[in-house]
Amino acid sequence: MASGYDFGWIPVLLSLFTLTDASSQTVNQELSNIFNELWKLDVNRMEPLTNYNISLQGKAGYIPQGSTNVVDHASSPLFVNVDEAKLSSITTYARFMKLLDNYERSTGVAERVTAEEVTENNSFLDAILETAVMKRAHQYLIGKGKSRSDLRQFKSQLYYMWFRLYHRERNGGEDSSGFEHVFVGETKFGREIMGLHNWVQFYLQEKQNLLDYKGYKARANDVPDADDHVLNVQFSWHGLVKPVASAFVGVSPEFEMAVFTILFLTSTEKTTTAVVNLDEYQLEMVVHRHGRCIGTAYPKLLSSNNRHM
């Protein structure tokens, strides 16, 4: 559960650290439309207060990037409980969770991908490609001329952009991938958290006492609710602190893969941002590319509970 406020590029950071006034944003209606279609098709989305419960507690304070001096405004974990039996019973979640222990946490340390891990990657893609969410995303990308209609070619395209290894640090071997960064998380020089944008990984790391939720981030007039599906939060992980992070909560892995794949493939910009109205939320969707691979991808919450309307 995190956002990509973790790259060293100053222009990107300057644009991302501010919780922007939603009323000043120009909404991308086409992306809003397709993302809402995918939202409605996401039958594997977990329901708050039914499949999981969160405890928001206090509002987190400001700390600069790289600092570990943080006041904890949440004495308890964010996740009170999650229905793990339900998660494990859904193929996409079950295969997704198998991928979370396949990576080295530190950048600069070369990844070694085993044949078993390649099989797990392919099995996960096979599972999400069978969902209505990914089928609709594929159809949309075909219509845009961004993907081939052949399912094997589309799967290869997904594998390359999400799982192909690349250098995030100049020293050492290939140490990162889009999937690792976005869904698993990394640390840079032992000083900052990068990625970890996924709620399931957040919950599992919290459960193992490796991650400590510090409180939510929000403007005074937009305090989050326990049933919100997108949150801005602050947390520590392996002793490092993420000052502000944003992520979907409860959504399926196929939904996140679908929306970020669409945003990535429909643009050629190094960093692509698009403001969308999704369900009751206004979000700034962000994707940063690393060549033909995902560098980072996350939703930045601008407003919730239809307060932007």
Residues carrying an active site annotation:
181, 197, 242
Q: Cβ contacts of residue 118 below 8 Å, gap of 6+?
A: none
Element (H, E) at 303: strand 293-303
Q: Cα–Cα distance between 271 and 288 in angstroms, integer?
A: 4
- Choose among 104, 102, 51: nearest CA to 79: 51
Bridge partners of 252, per DSSP, are none
- How many Cα atoms sit within 13 Å of 64 on the Cβ side? 2
205's enclosing H/E stretch is helix 199-207
Tell me the angle at which helices 253-265 and 151-163 cross, rounded to the nearest 10 degrees: 90
* Nearest CA among 185, 298, 198, 199 for reference residue 240: 185
Q: What is the distance of C-alpha 303 from the center of its chain?
A: 18
